[in-house]
Amino acid sequence: MEHRCLDKGFVVWFTGLPGSGKTTLATKVAEILRRRGYRVEVIDGDWARKTISLGAGFTREERRIHLHRIAWVARLLARNGVIVLCSFVSPYRDVRRMIRNIIEEEAPFIEIYVYCPLEECIRRDPKGLYKKALRGEIKHFTGISDPYEPPENPDLVVDTVKNSVDENVESIIRLLEERFHI
């Protein structure tokens, strides 16, 4: 397959509670964009914490440092023509503002709020982390012992309870087509 090389890529930042569906959506969007011939990278929290942010903790300051690194990696990829889909809880508004500022110096930035009520995230609990957090075994767990500050003005809100994965992916692709003519 021939790759379409963009002069400048862009960053799509998926934020939401753990288990809300961020990585699922980012992965599906990436599949569609790759089929269209674009170079796409998905960066999610699990991968980042095993590689470029090895040892990163979960306090507010540790999350800020971790996400600062991710923002710079995303910026470097985007400025080199890659579409970067980032899937991170990124619970604090001020840190998401910092991320946006870093990336927008060189590349367009889209923030997508992956909305899912806490009760549903607890019910889904794909990694068993909510159970551990509710038992007090995990400190600084977003939604339980640490806050999540929903975005005030995201570019798009997708609801993973009311809408199917395919419906949400379609909304995201439609936004990217409108913004970037891809």
Two structure tokens written together for 150: 């929903």
Catalytic residue among 20, 53, 87, 90: 90
State which H helix or E strand residue 85 sits in.
strand 83-87
Angstrom distance (rounded) from CA 30 to CA 50: 21
Active-site residue flag, 90: yes
Tell me the angle at which helices 165-180 and 22-35 cross, rounded to the nearest 10 degrees.
Answer: 50
Angstrom distance (rounded) from CA 181 to CA 161: 29
Stated length of the chain: 182
Q: Report the catalytic residues.
A: 90
